[in-house]
Amino acid sequence: RRLVDSARADAYKSYSSNVAKKPSFAHTFVSPCQAACPLHMEIREYVDLIAQGRVMEALQVIREDNPFPSICAYICSHPCEDACRRGQIDKPIAIRALKRFAVEFGGDRVIQPEAETTHEERIAIVGSGPAGLSAAYYLRKLGYPVTVFEACSELGGMLRAGIPEYRLPREVLDTEVQRLIQMGVEIRTNTRVVSLDLLFDMGYKAVFITVGADQSRRLGIKGEDKPGVVDAITFLREVNLGLRPSI
């Protein structure tokens, strides 16, 4: 291993400026694209498989590190491409586009089988945003019975309420949610959890709270609290959920 200097740390800034300010360690033989990826996906491996025409194998590699590659294929800011050394010659490899090609090529061919239950301890997840859904995916793969509680009528959290449909098509999100259901994850929508004790009384041995902390950035200008002024997150949520924006 070697200490990553300030120049090398630039690869990390796009997804964590806090990490970039601190000394970090990286494996010498990890490619810059993989080091820059927040999930540290095996980018070089799946890009090479796609180049060989082995797309389904590439998709399998992608799903090992990323539970929802279809979603990332649309909305990821692709810091891997900023770090791609090919960009020093002409243009970076279109990594996100290749990932999207792989997941769209796989499509219905990839059916997530129901995961085997190997543990008796039931786990409750409160909230169905990216963190909650990811936890449900990995816990179910480990064999735990998982239940996701969501106060709204549909799953997704800010993926559904905070991102316009033209950026993230709803069928893409719905497909990934359906894969969780195929794995055996129990879904309870329109259910607001008001007491952790109640969940424990219901027999859950652990509770993972992922209710989010979304809040619009304040402008700090006069009148932004006046009636009729709506912050961005509230506006996006109302539009994306089919409500009439209160403006």
Q: Model confidence over 201-214: pLDDT tens digits?
A: 999 999 999 998 88
Instruction: Let me know if residue 217 belongs to a domain.
Output: no
Q: Which of 85, 109, 133 is the last residue of a domain?
A: 109
Residue 109 tokens read as 């061919």
For residues 189-206, give the mean pLDDT: 94
User: Which domain range does residue 86 map to?
Assistant: 2-109
Whether residue 128 contacts residue 62, with contact meaning beta carbons closer than 8 Å, is answered with no
Same domain for 73 and 132? no
Please state, in angstroms and rounded to a whole number, the distance separating the CA atoms of residues 81 and 108: 28
- Total domain count for the chain? 2
Q: Which of 78, 109, 140 is the last residue of a domain?
A: 109
Instruction: Let me know if residue 238 belongs to a domain.
Output: no
Instruction: Let me know if residue 203 belongs to a domain.
Output: yes
Minimum mean pLDDT range among 10-14, 67-71, 190-194: 10-14
Same domain for 159 and 91? no
For residues 147-172, give the mean pLDDT: 93
pTM: 0.80
Q: Is the pLDDT of residue 104 over 80?
A: yes
Amino acid at 164: P
Amino acid at 173: L
High-pLDDT (> 90) share of the chain, %? 62
Instruction: Let me know if residue 26 belongs to a domain.
Output: yes
- CATH number for the domain including 46? 1.10.1060.10
Radius of gyration, CA atoms only, the chain: 20
Amino acid at 68: F
* Residue 41, number of CB atoms within 10 A of its CB: 21
Please state, in angstroms and rounded to a whole number, the distance separating the CA atoms of residues 3 and 25: 5
Q: Which of 76, 109, 142 is the last residue of a domain?
A: 109
